[in-house]
Structures are given as C-alpha cells and as structure tokens.
Amino acid sequence: MQRQQSGGWMLWAVLSCLWVTACGGDLSEGAVPESEVLSQERQGLQAQAADEHFVATAAAPSPLTKAIAAGNSHSLALRLDGSVWTWGLNNSGQLGHGTQTNSSTPLRVAGLPAIKAIAAGNSHSLALGVDGRVWAWGMNSFGQLGDGTTTLRLAPVAVTIPGGAVAIAAGLSHSLAVAADGSVYAWGYNVSGQLGDGTTTNRSTPVRINLPVSIRAVSAGQYHSMALGTNGSVWTWGRNSAGQIGNGNISTQMTPYQVSLAQGATAIAAGGTHSLALLSNQTVVGWGNNNFGQLGIGTTATPQTVPVQSGLAAPVTAISAGADFSLAINAFGAAWSWGRNTAGQLGDGTITQRTSPVPVQGLTDAVAVSAGGFHALALRSDCPFWGWGANDKGQLGDGTLTGRWTLTQTQLVNIYFFDNDTDGYGAELLSPVEGCQAPGLDYVENSLDCDDFDFFVNPEASEVCDGLDNDCDLVTDEDAGDFYHLDGDADGYGNPADSVQACVQPPGRVLDATDCNDANGLVNPGATEVCNTSGAVDDDCDGAIDEGVGSLWYRDADGDGYGSTTVSVQACSAPAGYIATGGDCNDNNPNVKPGATETCNGVDDNCSGAVDEGNPGGAVSCSTGGVGVCAAGVTYCTSGAIQCVPTRGPSAEVCDGQDNDCDGQTDETGGQSTFYRDADGDGYGNAAVSVQACSAPAGYVATAGDWNDANPTLYPGAPELCDGLDNNNNGSIDEGMTTAWYRDADGDGKGNPSVTAQACSAPTGYVANSSDCNDSDATLPRYFATDQDGDGYGKSGAVFGPAPYGCSAPVGYSNNSLDCDDTRSSVRPGAPELCDGLDNNCNGSIDEGVTPQTWYRDADGDGKGNPSVTAYACPAPSGYVADSSDCNDNDATLPRYFTQDSDGDGYGTSGAVFGPAPYGCSPPAGYSYNRLDCDDRNRYVYSGALEVCDGKDNNCNGSVDESCTAVTCSAWVSTTSVPSGGTGTFGFSASGPLGSSRAYVYGSKNWVQDENGSLSYDQTTLSYLVGNYPGLEGYYQRYIVIRRDDGANLCTTNTVGVWFLAP
C-alpha cells in the first residue's frame, strides 16, 4: 500500500485551531477565575480578516496550535512546536518548573509531550496533549490536579480521562475536561456544586457529569461551570449568588441547567461571578454579576439572572471573561474590553472602569485574547505573545514587574525549525531559529518530524503498512492495513462482528464481512437458497428464508389431479389442497383438464386454449338428401353441435358424366367441343371433316388447319425442309435451307470469300472453306518463320508461340527459314564476314578473310581489363575485354569514385563531395570507399556502429536508440551527515560505451544551485574526500552528468545529499 500525505498544504495563519483557555481570580478581593473557548466561526472569520498579517507564519495541517491562558497572577503560552511556557506567580508551583520561584520571563515547562491546549486556574495549570492525555501541576489542596491526591505538584502529573480528552478548563480550584465521546468530566473543589455531580463532595479524580447532549467546549469560573453543546446549547451549574447560572434566580444549581437563549451559541466564557456567550448571529450576551460593568450593558445595574445583550456591535468572533472584566475580538481583529480596570487590565491606556466596550489600544490584529485576575493576554501574528494590566508577579512576561495600561510584548517569540522534506513538520537537523518571523519558507514552528527526509512521515501522516512509523508515535504500522474478519466455517465469508486490522492477513480471517452464520460453511452470501430439511435457514444471507426456491404448487379445487394455473404458491412442500401439476383451465369442473377428450360441446375440454378443436365427431361421410353432386356430405362440429354439410354445391353443367347442376340430368347442356380428322397424325386436322363430342374420338384432334392431311411434313408451323416443298405453307419453298459455297480456283481446298453460290449441296468447283487469301496460288495461305533479329531471314523451327498464318509475313517474321543464327542481325546469308568468331554469311566458315585485335584480361569481371595482360584474336577470349583501364584487376569495385569522410570515421556520406570526386584504386585523405555515413559530422555515427543510448541514430538504420547500449552511472556518498570538522567521501562511476567523455558536476546548497557543470573530470570513475569546515554548514546535493566530446549527455547519476552540520 502506498503512503499518502494526510492533508494538503494550506495557509493556517497561526490562529488555525486556536483553543484559548484561561483562569484567574484574586481571593483577597473576591475575584474569580475564568475560562473561554474560541468558536469555530471565529477561526474562519479571523483567518479571512487577517490573511495579510499572517503570510509569513503559514503552517501545515497539524493538531498543534498557539494558545494563551491567563490565571490569577500567572500566565501560560503554547507554541506551535507543542511546548508550554509559563511566567508570573509561582507560590504553589503553578509554573511547573520544579520550583516555587516567581519568573518575569517565560520559561519552558519540562517533561510534557506535544501539547495542543492549555488552561490556567487560580494557582494551578492544565495542559492537553495531542494524544488526549491531560497534565496538571500547581496547587492541589482540593484535588484540582486530578491525580488522586491533594499533594502540591511542582511538575506536571498525568490525569486519566476515559477515552482521552479533547478540551480542558481550569477554575478557581476545580478543573473540567471534555472526553472524546462528548461527555464531561470534573474534579477538585465542589463546595458549591461546581463539579455538577449533584453533590458538594470534593473529587481528587475525574467524575463524569450527566449531560443530555454531546459537549464540545467547557469553561470554569470561580465556583461555577459552563458547557457548550455540539447543538449550540449552553449549560451551567454551581454557585449562583450573582445570577451567573442564568436561570432567573440566585439559587445554587447542583446539576447542569440549560440556559434559555434566543439562538444557539458558538462560544462560552465563565468569569469570576459572571458568564458570557457568543451567539450564532455573532452577538454577545451576558448574565450574572455586573458590579464593575463586566456585562457591558452601559450600567453597573444589579446582577442579571437571565442573558442580556452586551453593548458590543456585531460581528464578534471571540470572547473571554476575567475576574471582573471581559474581552472580545470582532471580525476585523480589533480587541475590545469592559468592566473593572484598577490595574489597567482593559488596555485602553487608563485605569478607568468601563461599563460599555472600549477598544484595546493598538490591538487591531488580535488572534485570541485571555482575561485573568487583573491582567490580560493577547495572541497576535508575527511576534505572537502580548500582555497588559497588573505585573507585580511578572505575569506579563516582559522581564519587569512594571504594570502596563497598554499592551506590551512578552519575551517569548516564535521558534522555527528547518523542514527538510517540506511536509510541514520540522526537525533539528539545523539549529532552530527564534524570532517573530520565519527565516525562510522552509522553516516551520515545530520539531515533531521523526524522519525529516521522508515527506510521508510526520505526526499527521496516516499510518500505512510499510514497516515505518509514519505518524511519529513510536509505534510502527498500528491502525493500518485492512480489516480481516473471522471465517470460522472456512467458507470464504467473514463474521462482521469479529474483525481485526492488520497489514498481513491473519490465518482464519478474510476481508469479506457478509457471513450471517459463521458456524455453517453452507450458509453465506454466495450460497444458493435451498429448502432445508433441518428448519428455516437463510442460506444466502439476504434476510429472507427459502425465497425463490422450492416448487410451484397449484390449487386443485375440483380434485381432477390438475391445479389452477392462476392460483399457485411457491413452497418447499405442497400446502393442503395444492398439487404439483398445473394447467387446469376450469378448476370447478373435474371433466375439464389437460388430456381430457375434446367433444363437440362448445367447451375447451382439454385446456388447450381452443374450443372443439380437431372437429370432434366430424369428417364422417353423410347424405344431405340432395341429388347429383349435391347429395354427398360430411359431418362437421359447428357451435357445439354435429351437422351434415355438402362436399360440393351446384355448378354449370360440364362434360364429365355427372349431374353438375344438381337438376337430375347428366351432361345435358353445354360443354361439348368440335374435333377434326387427323389422317396423317401430324397433330393438325382436316377442317372439312369434323364431329361434336365431350372428348376427342380416335383419329381426331381439336386443332384444324391441315391443307394436306396425307403428308405429315406439311402442316402449319412445320420446319422447312430442303425437299422442294412449301412445308410450312408460307408461300416459299426451301427458304432458309440453302448453304453458301466458295469458289476454289486453285484447288487447294480453300475458297475465295469473294466468290459464293447458294445451294442445298456444293456446286462443282466450290467448297465450304472461305479462308483463301490468294485463290490463284495453291501454296497460300501458309505459316511463316520467326525473324528474331530483324535481318529479313527466318530460322527454321525458331517459332515462339503460335505460328502466324496468311499470305504475307507479319513484322518479326520472314517468308524464308535460311538464317543460321537468328539472334544476331550480323549473321545471315550474304552478310559481310567480321572478326568476331561468327559465321556471319552463313557459309559454314568463321572469320574467313578478316584481321584479329588486342584484348585485355578482366580477372575481376568488372568490364575493365588489366593493361599488362593481353591476347591477340578476332573474338575476345574468355575473361578478356577491350577496355584496359583497370588499376586493380583483383577487385571488381576498383577503380571507383570516393566520397567525402569529414568526421574521419571511415564512412563517407553520399553527396558530401566538395569539388571533383577523386577516382582511382585508393581513397585520398579525407575520403572513403563507401557512402554509408548518415551524419558525416559525428564520428560516433556510421553504418554498423554500436547503437548507444544518446538520442542519435548511431548505426544509420533509420531508428534512434533502438535496442541501444546504455552508459550506466551512479553517485554515492559515504554518509548523509558530516559533523563540523569531519569528512565524508563522495564518488561516482560510469561504464558502457563512453567514447571520449568527461564527468560534469551539478548540484545545490540549501536548494540553491551552486554547481552548474563548470567543474568536470576526465575520469568517469572517481572518489574524493569532502570536508565540513566553518562556514560550510548546510544541505548539499550533487549529481554527475557523463558527457561525450560531441556534446551528447550519455548518463545522469542519481542525486545524493549530505548535511554539513553546524558546530
């Protein structure tokens, strides 16, 4: 399974997931602590309003966030690296540093895991880990630390919340937590029922509170508590002396009460003795004590026992309640305050009490605020942690004990860690950098990455089956893989109620989870539903039993053994009154059923769908009572009754010996014909001799017209014969029966087509053949001999294909056959004799009377002779020619022209000739015997060259890099990190068809290119030491390009990286 990143990059702008909880109170003046939760709406709106301020603090999706929490006289801050920092009063160990010494500067709390939320009480502190564990330290007189004791703790101790916590809050001396299942747990001081368990008993361990809805946030005051439901409902319980419960009275509330609000809430804040709620319309309401104007309604009127609208205009996105004052942030990032101001805790530059909201001076980009006893904290972008108000215990964290009426920056800034793999999580590969802004885009505010070389390994990654700790929780492959279900009956289908998650399939388990009976291998979704003899079983696990199986049974109401086709049921056995055979078309009549005998009764007796089909009782001969042909009849089933119907009806009388018209008389009228005497039997009768009858008498025919009844060759339409008679009586004698004959004057059996005679037989001197082209010459027409060489003489027998026939020779033929060699026109009777070894004149002698010549030896058969080897003869001797220009008679390719070879690879390119082409037996310098080079500019390209993987057609076959031989190369480094002052070894190697190549170096330092190939080596295998000296710190990456002297890049190595660590 491939690892996948759990989330994409996004601009979170620090405020993402901010969860600010704070507590405060001054026991000497009756001041009380508070706690508040930022609403989800606040986060979204603030992100939109403050994008321009937070570009430099972008972060990856993370469970961690920045947060602040103001206690009575101490403060907490949470940085994005999950670390908790504290400052201020420490008399009860509430700073968690292992001492009880106050601190005016922020110090980190040791011993904590990665934290995602914090809360400050009067003299104790809480932290919520990413893993859901709660941690506590400080005063524990009432069990407010939840560790089962009342022992003061100078360092964090764990608190157990069943299933883990998702939210926390700290009050005066009690604590709250929301569990992962939406339930609420409380512990600590319970004198006024502030734990909500219906008692006033203190609890040193968490106790679950009974609430009817799922809770997503809690807030703790001095002696009362608040909870925010996921449905927007607000619940309160505890002390109600000033109406802080909001139920319309001042009676203590021992169990949770739902406050009546005009609409749902998105955030809550519990102050010392007052309560605030942020509604979904982004307005603020408050109730409870208002003696310092802390409700912001413009007066210090008597306590309000039900919610009233504050004077702060919408839209409001965040609220916080302190001991006797309140804070809020609007949608534009501006912070507002109202209530008590004796220590400048309103931040307006005065110590004047305010009954209506006033702006906090200079705070227009607030991300979160937290109100304490007499001081306040704010979270901003860039330099994040600020404070104002009382500072007598160092609770503002600016290194002084001077109170501030306007905001001042604490000495705690952001910390940035280098994020090597850019997954949003850093590590300490390089020294961390502290400041208000990141030193670069590759820095983040956490060091939670357990493998900063793998983008897919970080705390937010999904654990997958790969043998790695993907989510950095020190456990490998947990909660990864598929769910495998027990297959107890080994039928391939698993039990949905019994599953385990694993990377490898455990024995006896399968991925499927659809078996409805894992104890029976015959029962599963792939089984076929059958009729079970052992009882009702859902064989195929579809929720139905015996559906679609069993036989069809038909109702047999008349008991005739056939059931009704319209009344049936499907069942595994026959119900009473039902049978297996259907088909009965009338289940109320036992005589009607399939197979019954059909009778002529108007009923479908055999249920065939037809009535009285087959004519039952019919097809029996009967008498109709008529006469003539009308007397014969046959029975027929009509309308359910047998009737006798005639087989024939009356018709016109004809000559057939019957009473056709059923009148009692036979052949009495009409129908007789005239027949004629045919004495000569030629099919035609004498019109003068005829009789009337129903059929022809012997020697008579129906056709007249014979003018000579004594001659069978004379009748109408008879074929004309060559007999001197007019056979067909058309007025002509022997027409069309004479033959054309042709005059044969030369008696050669072939007639002249121009001289003819018509007669029944050939006249004297005439023949039937008309092919004579010369009737005066008995030798013509004739066959001709082939004259192949066109010299006018043909050779006897030298005929190719059918011989021509006629009176004159066609082209290519001759009248004679006197040629002694019909393949040479120089050979024929009467030709002049030549010195050529032939009998030119066909007289039986060769070369008589002629002079011989000189011939040259052609040993290589190229048509050119060796001038040094000659022969003197009339015809050329075998192996000799008249040409004497061969410079090498052993090589038929020589002499020849040569082609330009510009790249010196021994192969020339066709057409690549500059100036007249050299000719001879040896190529001059810069020329080649062949023209097989397809690129005469590159010596690595020619016909038959080794095909190298270089993007060129090396072997000139028209294809590039086909089945090429590749150069292989690799780079390596002996270590991934070199300590300051240390060394490592870098090397590379290459092999294959390198030719003349060099190795060129490329790479970067801290992802900025610092080597561009200007450094190169003539070795293609090399290693050397690299040293980490002061000033070289950073991350280096190197790779090598193997480049041939023609510029072709033959191979690029892998990129290797090494950290040169800081001292």
Dump pLDDT digits (tens) for 713-722: 888 888 878 7
pLDDT > 70 in the chain, percent: 92
Alpha carbons within 13 A on the beta-carbon side of 426:
24
**pLDDT category, 107, cuts 50, 70, 90?**
very high
pLDDT of residue 37: 32
pLDDT at 19: 29
CATH of the domain at 977: 2.60.40.10
pTM: 0.51
CATH number at residue 256: 2.130.10.30
pLDDT score recorded for residue 749: 83
The burial of 959, by beta-carbon neighbours within 10 Å (0-12 exposed, 13-18 middle, 19 or more buried), is given as exposed
Q: What is the pLDDT of residues 370-426, one digit of tens each?
A: 999 999 999 998 889 999 999 999 999 999 999 999 999 999 999 999 999 999 899
Residue 916, pLDDT score: 62
Output DSSP code: residue 360.
P
525-580 tens-digit pLDDT: 998 888 887 777 888 999 888 787 878 888 988 888 898 888 988 888 788 889 88
Q: What are phi and psi of 28, to 5 degrees?
A: -70, -30
Strand order in the sheet with 316-321: 316-321, 325-330, 335-339, 354-359
Asked if the model's pLDDT at residue 46 lies above 50, the reply is no
pLDDT the model gives residue 913: 53
Q: Choose the final residue of a domain: 382, 412, 442.
A: 412
Share of the chain above pLDDT 90, in %: 48
Q: What's the pLDDT score for residue 899?
A: 81
Q: Per mean pLDDT, which range of 8-22, 845-859, 874-888, 1008-1022 is the poorest?
A: 8-22
Of 871 and 142, more confident: 142
Spatial distance between the Cα atoms of 196 and 190, rounded to a whole number of angstroms: 8
For the chain, how many residues are written?
Answer: 1063
What was the pLDDT predicted at 801? Answer: 55
With contact defined as beta carbons under 8 Å apart, do 905 and 880 qualify?
A: no
Euclidean distance between CA atoms 356 and 333, whole angstroms: 19
Give the position of tokens 């810069």: 926
Least confident of 192-206, 231-245, 755-769, 984-998: 755-769
Average pLDDT of the residues in 292-314? 94
Task: Output the pLDDT for position 874.
Answer: 80
Last residue of a domain, one of 384, 412, 440: 412
Average pLDDT over residues 836-863: 83
Rounded average pLDDT over 874-893: 84
- Given this model, what pLDDT does residue 798 score? 53
Mean of per-residue pLDDT scores for the chain: 86
Amino acid, single-letter form, for residue 872: Y
DSSP, res 539:
T
Predicted local confidence at residue 539, as pLDDT: 87
Domain count, the chain: 3
What 8-state DSSP symbol labels residue 431? -
Provide the residue range defining the domain that includes 1013. 968-1060
Residue 1031 falls inside a structural domain: yes
Given a cut of 50, is residue 10 above it in pLDDT? no
**What is the average per-residue pLDDT within 881-902?**
81
pLDDT band, residue 20 (cuts 50/70/90): very low
pLDDT value, residue 679: 85
Residue 126 has pLDDT above 80, yes or no: yes
Calpha distance 860→873 (Å, rounded): 21
Whether 882 is covered by a domain: the verdict is: no
Q: What pLDDT was estimated at residue 418?
A: 94
545 neighbors 570 (Cβ within 8 angstroms): no
- Residues 339-366: what's their mean pLDDT? 97
- What are the DSSP calls for 800-855, one per residue? -SSPPEESS--TTEES--B-S-TT-TT-STTPPP-SSSS-TTSSS-SSTT---EEE
Residue 351 lies in a domain: yes
pLDDT above 60: residue 760: yes
> For residues 204 and 190, is the Cβ–Cβ distance under 8 A?
no
Q: Give the model confidence (pLDDT) of 892-918 as tens digits.
A: 877 777 788 888 888 888 665 555 667
Judge whether 824 lies within some domain: no
- Is a pLDDT exceeding 50 seen at residue 936? yes
Spatial distance between the Cα atoms of 722 and 761, rounded to a whole number of angstroms: 10
Which segments of 196-339 are extended strands (E)? 203-209, 215-220, 224-229, 234-238, 253-258, 265-270, 274-279, 284-288, 304-309, 316-321, 325-330, 335-339
In a domain, 581, yes or no: no
Is residue 449 domain-resident? Answer: no
> Taking a C-beta distance cutoff of 8 angstroms, is the pair 960, 953 a contact?
yes
What pLDDT does residue 602 have? 84
- pLDDT tens for residues 424-440? 899 988 899 999 999 99
Sign of the alpha-carbon dihedral angle for 84, 85, 88, 91:
positive
Query: At residue 28, does pLDDT exceed 70?
Result: no
Q: Is the pLDDT of residue 159 over 70?
A: yes
- The DSSP annotation for 86-149 comes to EEE--TTSTT-SSS---EEEEEEPTT---EEEEEE-SSEEEEEETTS-EEEEE--TTSTT-SSS
CA neighbor of 975 nearest in space, from 876, 1060, 879: 1060
Is the pLDDT reported for residue 58 higher than 70? no
Domain boundary among 379, 412, 445: 412
What does the alpha-carbon distance between residue 309 and residue 319 come to, in Å, rounded to a whole number? Answer: 14
CA distance 833 to 849: 8
Give the count of beta carbons closer than 10 Å to the beta carbon of residue 180: 13
pLDDT band with cut points at 50, 70 and 90 for residue 157: very high
Tell me, yes or no, whether 576 lies in a domain. Answer: no
Domain annotation covers residue 1056? yes
The whole-angstrom separation of Cα 644 and Cα 626 is: 12
Q: Report whether pLDDT(1004) > 50.
A: yes
Residue 671 clears pLDDT 60, i.e. is over it = yes
pLDDT band at 839 (very low <50, low <70, confident <90, very high): confident
- Spatial separation of the C-alpha atoms in residues 229 and 489, rounded to whole Å: 46
**Tokens found for residue 273:** 């003795």
∠ CA 573-579-583, nearest 5°, is 135
